[in-house]
C-alpha cells in the first residue's frame, strides 16, 4: 500500500491541489488496503502523509483492476478515428485489410494506431504463404471440412482454425473471422494474421501505444486481427514487448536499491535490479562527465590556482588531493586483493578537488590492499603526474616574490602522499621550527577542501554510510556517478546554498562504520633534492611575502 499511498498524496497535495481544495472528490483505486486508509494502522511516515491530506474532502473507493478503466483512460492516448490517423501519422497508414469502422471512443477503449501498409494482394499472398493457413486453405477452397483421417494429418494450429469455420468469411481473397458484439453493434472483422506479421504487429500495438499490459494488448489486437493461440502467444511475449519498466521506476530503483532501510518493494527481480543499477549509474557518468567534470586543460588549471589564491591564500595550487577507501563486501574468489590495512575489503577512491569543493579528477578502482604500496603511483592520475601529461601551466613567478624565481604549480596533500615536484606534503615530525609549523598549517588549510568534499559526498549519498554489497565493477560505476552528481548539484545549487554545510560522517548503528575511510600511505617518501628544495621555497614565501596577520595567532 505504501507506493499507492505515496502516489495518492502526491496527486492530491501537489499535482491537483488547486482543483481539489473545497470540493468533494472520490478516489478510485484497485489497491484494496488503500481503500481502508481511515482505519489502517499507519507508521510515522504514513501519518505525516495522512496529515497533509486532512484538508481535502475525499472518499476512497475500491474498484477491481479489471474494471478500473479510469487510470487507463488518463494514462493512454486519446482513441483517434480513422479520419484522424492520416493527419497524425502522415508517414504511415492503416493496412487496407485492417481498415474498418471504429466504435465510438470510450474511456476504457483505445484504437490500434497505424500499422505498416499492405495491399489486399499483398495480404492474400502472405496468407497463402503461411504454413498453418496453407493447411486450412486446402479445405476452404473446396468448401468442405476435412475427414477424420485428414484431421490426423493437420497441425494443432490448423485444427484450432477449423473450429472457427463458421465464423470465417472471405473478402477479396483475404480471410477474416467475424465477431458479433454483445451490444448489438456492427460486427467486427478480425484479419487472420499471417505468422510473418505477428511480431511486427505486437511491437506496433505495444510499444507505440503506451506499453500496455497483456490484457489491454489483447483487447487492442482483437479489434483488428486473430490467429490461433493468440492469447497464449501474447502472454509469453518477451519482456521487451509487454513488461517494460517505467523510466521513473528505473531511476527510483537505482537510487534506493543500495539503501536497505526502505521496506517497500518494487516487485522487480534481483537480476533486473542489478542490470538497472549498472546501466543507470553508467548512463549518469556518461551523460554528466563532460559537463560537470571535463578533463582540465591549461587554462582550467590556471582558474583553479586563482581560486585557491583568492579563497585559501595559497599560491600556485591547482588542487587538493586525497584518497579514501570505499568499503565493499568481499568479492567472490578475490583472495586478499581488496583486503586493506583496517581488516576490511575496499576500493580506493583518489580525487582532486578545487577551491569550490568540486571534483576535478577522480580515479576509482584501485585494490584496497595496494594502498601501502603506492596507490598514487599505480593510478592513471599518478602516471600522468609523473610523465607531465596533465597540461599544468608552466612555472611562474609569484607576484611580490620575484626573489624566489620560477615556482611550479602544485597539488597539496597530507602526509600519506609522497613529496614530488608538483605535489606538496607537510613537513614530518613533531619537533618542527615555527616556520615549518606555519607552512604545515597553511598547507592543511588549503587541503581541507578535499576533506569537506568527501564529507558532502557521504552526507548526500547514503550508500557511503555502510558496506556496499554490489560487485566491484558496479561499485566503481556508482561511486563515479555520485561524484559527477555531486558536481552537478554544486554547480546548479539546487535546493542548497553554494556554501553547503558539511555533515560529519557517522555510522548508522554501533556495529557499522562509514564506507569512506582514510587511506594510509599513498606512495613512498623518497623525495628528490629538487622536491625538498621546492617545499622549502614555498615555506619561505608563506612566512615572508605570503604571510597573513592571523596565522601567528593560530600556530
| pLDDT one-digit tens code per residue, 252-299 | 555 554 444 443 444 555 666 667 788 889 999 999 999 999 999 999
How does pLDDT run across 96-151, given as a tens digit for each residue?
Answer: 554 554 443 343 333 444 445 678 888 889 999 999 999 999 999 888 899 988 88
One domain, residues 418 and 446? yes
Please report the DSSP string for 369-405 in residue order: GGHHHHHHHHSHHHHHHHHTTT-PPPPEEPTT-GGG-
- Asked if the structure places residue 528 within a domain, the reply is yes
| Lowest-confidence region among 114-118, 164-168, 233-237 | 114-118
- Asked if the structure places residue 260 within a domain, the reply is no
Number of folded domains that form the chain: 3
- Asked if the structure places residue 251 within a domain, the reply is no
Residue that is last in its domain, among 45, 67, 89: 67
Can you give the pLDDT at residue 507?
Answer: 41
One domain, residues 50 and 88? no
Can you give the pLDDT at residue 508?
Answer: 42
Can you give the pLDDT at residue 269?
Answer: 57
One domain, residues 29 and 114? no
One domain, residues 97 and 233? yes
Q: Which residues neighbour 544 within 8 Å (Cβ) at sequence distance 6 or greater?
A: 401
Residue that is last in its domain, among 11, 34, 67: 67
Higher pLDDT, 190 or 39: 190
Rounded distance between C-alpha atoms, residue 212 and residue 68, angstroms: 14
One domain, residues 237 and 375? no
One domain, residues 88 and 48? no
One domain, residues 549 and 471? yes
- Asked if the structure places residue 472 within a domain, the reply is yes
Phi first, then psi, for residue 415 (nearest 5°) are: -70, -10
One domain, residues 446 and 416? yes
One domain, residues 446 and 300? yes
One domain, residues 36 and 184? no
Q: Is the pLDDT of residue 397 over 90?
A: yes
Distances (CA, A) of 544 to 211, 309, 314, 438, 531: 71, 16, 13, 11, 20
Q: Is the pLDDT of residue 12 over 90?
A: no
One domain, residues 60 and 86? no
- Asked if the structure places residue 167 within a domain, the reply is yes
Overall average pLDDT of the 211-230 stretch: 81
* Banded pLDDT at 354 (limits 50, 70, 90): very high
One domain, residues 101 and 53? no
* Banded pLDDT at 526 (limits 50, 70, 90): confident
Residue that is last in its domain, among 52, 67, 82: 67
Higher pLDDT, 249 or 374: 374
- Asked if the structure places residue 136 within a domain, the reply is yes
- Asked if the structure places residue 314 within a domain, the reply is yes
- Asked if the structure places residue 254 within a domain, the reply is no
* Banded pLDDT at 224 (limits 50, 70, 90): confident
Overall average pLDDT of the 464-472 stretch: 87
Rounded distance between C-alpha atoms, residue 498 and residue 490, angstroms: 7
Buried b (16+ CB within 10 A) or exposed e, 351-379: bbbbbbbbbbbbbbbbbbbbbeebbbebb
pTM value?
Answer: 0.54
Reading the block at residue 188, the C-alpha cell is: 467486427
Q: Which domain holds residue 148?
A: 74-242
Amino acid at each position: 500500500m505504501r507506493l499507492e499511498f505515496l502516489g495518492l498524496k502526491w496527486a492530491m497535495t501537489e499535482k491537483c491541489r488547486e482543483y481539489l481544495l473545497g470540493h468533494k472528490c472520490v478516489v478510485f483505486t484497485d489497491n484494496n488496503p488503500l481503500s481502508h486508509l481511515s482505519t489502517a494502522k499507519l507508521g510515522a511516515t504514513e501519518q505525516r502523509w495522512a496529515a497533509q491530506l486532512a484538508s481535502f474532502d475525499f472518499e476512497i473507493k475500491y474498484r477491481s483492476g479489471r474494471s478500473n478503466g479510469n487510470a487507463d483512460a488518463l494514462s493512454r492516448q486519446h482513441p483517434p478515428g480513422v479520419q484522424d490517423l492520416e493527419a497524425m501519422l502522415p508517414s504511415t497508414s492503416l493496412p487496407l485489410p485492417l481498415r474498418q469502422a471504429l466504435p465510438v471512443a470510450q474511456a476504457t477503449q483505445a484504437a490500434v494506431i497505424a500499422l505498416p501498409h499492405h495491399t489486399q494482394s499483398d495480404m492474400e499472398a502472405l496468407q497463402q504463404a503461411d504454413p498453418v493457413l496453407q493447411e486450412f486453405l486446402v479445405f476452404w477452397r473446396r468448401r468442405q471440412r476435412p475427414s477424420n483421417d485428414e484431421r490426423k494429418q493437420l497441425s494443432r494450429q490448423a485444427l484450432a482454425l477449423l473450429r472457427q469455420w463458421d465464423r470465417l468469411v472471405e473478402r477479396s481473397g483475404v480471410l477474416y473471422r467475424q465477431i458479433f458484439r454483445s451490444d448489438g453493434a456492427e460486427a467486427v472483422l478480425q484479419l487472420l494474421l499471417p505468422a510473418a506479421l505477428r511480431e511486427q504487429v505486437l511491437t506496433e500495438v505495444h510499444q507505440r501505444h503506451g506499453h500496455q499490459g497483456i490484457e489491454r494488448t489483447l483487447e487492442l489486437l482483437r479489434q483488428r486481427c486473430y490467429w490461433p493461440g493468440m492469447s497464449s502467444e501474447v502472454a509469453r511475449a518477451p519482456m521487451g514487448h509487454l513488461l517494460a519498466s517505467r523510466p521513473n521506476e528505473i531511476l527510483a530503483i537505482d537510487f534506493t536499491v543500495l539503501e536497505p532501510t526502505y521496506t517497500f518493494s518494487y516487485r522487480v527481480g534481483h537480476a533486473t535490479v542489478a542490470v538497472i543499477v549498472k546501466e543507470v549509474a553508467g548512463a549518469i557518468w556518461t551523460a554528466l562527465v563532460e559537463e560537470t567534470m571535463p578533463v582540465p586543460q591549461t587554462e582550467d588549471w590556471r582558474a583553479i590556482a586563482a581560486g585557491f589564491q583568492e579563497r585559501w591564500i595559497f599560491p600556485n595550487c591547482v588542487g587538493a588531493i586525497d584518497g579514501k577507501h570505499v568499503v565493499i563486501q568481499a568479492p567472490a574468489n578475490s583472495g586478499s586483493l581488496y583486503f586493506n590495512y583496517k581488516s576490511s575489503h575496499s576500493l580506493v577512491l583518489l580525487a582532486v578537488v578545487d577551491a569550490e569543493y568540486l571534483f576535478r579528477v577522480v580515479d576509482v578502482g584501485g585494490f584496497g590492499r595496494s594502498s601501502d604500496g603506492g596507490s598514487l603511483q599505480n593510478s592513471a592520475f599518478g602516471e600522468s603526474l609523473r610523465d607531465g601529461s596533465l597540461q599544468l601551466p608552466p612555472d611562474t613567478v609569484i607576484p611580490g616574490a620575484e626573489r624566489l624565481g620560477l615556482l611550479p604549480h602544485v597539488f597539496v596533500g597530507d602526509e600519506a602522499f609522497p613529496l614530488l615536484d608538483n605535489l606538496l606534503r607537510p613537513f614530518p615530525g613533531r619537533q618542527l621550527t615555527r616556520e615549518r609549523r606555519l607552512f604545515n598549517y597553511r598547507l592543511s588549510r588549503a587541503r581541507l577542501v578535499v576533506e569537506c568534499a568527501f564529507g558532502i559526498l557521504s552526507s548526500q549519498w547514503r550508500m557511503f554510510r555502510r558496506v556496499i554489497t554490489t560487485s566491484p565493477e558496479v561499485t566503481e560505476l556508482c561511486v563515479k556517478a555520485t561524484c559527477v552528481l555531486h558536481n552537478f548539484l554544486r554547480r546548479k545549487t539546487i535546493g542548497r546554498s553554494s556554501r553547503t554545510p558539511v555533515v560529519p560522517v557517522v555510522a548508522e548503528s554501533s556495529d557499522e562504520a562509514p564506507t569512506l575511510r582514510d587511506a594510509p600511505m599513498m606512495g613512498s617518501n623518497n623525495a628528490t633534492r629538487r622536491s625538498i628544495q621546492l617545499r622549502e621555497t614555498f615555506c619561505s614565501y608563506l612566512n615572508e611575502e605570503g604571510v597573513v596577520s592571523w596565522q601567528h595567532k593560530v600556530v
